[in-house]
Chain A
């Protein structure tokens, strides 16, 4: 993210944020914090910088610390820059039983990164995550909004190639 980029939601995102805040009784607008942080993360390069969180605090009319507290609790919020495509591989129970370790090792080798790291070209971040509720189609990974299930090493290769060719940022808010 360039340093001089002004931190401000697009008009659509700002309207959506205000619409979300109306879902709660008067005075309880803080409840919209998680949905609004999702919008912020999607809009500002896939992660939540301190200035972005301060901006969210100003929308909700709460203290910045209240936003940091929440953002740091939930695993879907990235507090450091990430690649355009965050590859989140499930490493829990059923996925593990059916080869998640091999999938993680394979992606790591192919991209030359360890879990938690980002490729030099800024395209991919590899992340290991806990059960995503897709155990019947294990092993699986999530990238942006989309679940990729019943993985094989070949499928993973094809997916990474396709994502790279597309070169687009993937977010949880993507319409799929």
Chain B
């Protein structure tokens, strides 16, 4: 079997992806910066930075700290606001002929999330929404909706009613029962579930005897969180029927395959883009090489391969 015989195409939320790998929101800006490295058509899809109704400045610096096999960030949803995103950012992405565009939507209250979605409804330059109810870095960044199943369901219902595009819901790992959260979102109409966002963490600057990050706490990401992410993806994929998108510490093709085997239909790559700007096309190549070496003709054969419960749910 040659690389040419391997088909990596997947479909979810009505989106056709040529491969199952896309960048995670907040780790790829709005895509333009990557022009100097590779053609964005190589991505399965693109997920752009969290977009709020009004422009947000974000948190004070330092916003970044390195941790063993990972990093903490406390960006705080810095973004130019939905008007500028629609006007200045999304049209650029339509230059790429085969690139589904997913807009990550964040806010403070149900009303302003809904307002962002209403504004987006008029734009033809994106294909789906990823509902961010999991940013750990702002007091009112949606995390209150991401830790209470009833509030999450209320939000998902409102966004589903407001949106004329499919809605994927991105979950926080900072909960006791991830399955309960995922099921609440599914019951409220979510078209897909993506997980995990970052784990809340901290680093102390011992010279200053104070937390290092300007915001005190930040979100932990990178290979350090992969086992937690995999476990949660496995559990959720075992207990919901909608497609699950796996996120958390993916750095290699083999990491991505682990998530697919746990039951994820596709994956998102975040921190690895910072370490290696060519991470996503490299991961796609590595998946393809693994498939060719193992006689896997279609990526579907791997989805849920290590999780019989998720396979029964299809």
**Physical interaction between A and B:** no
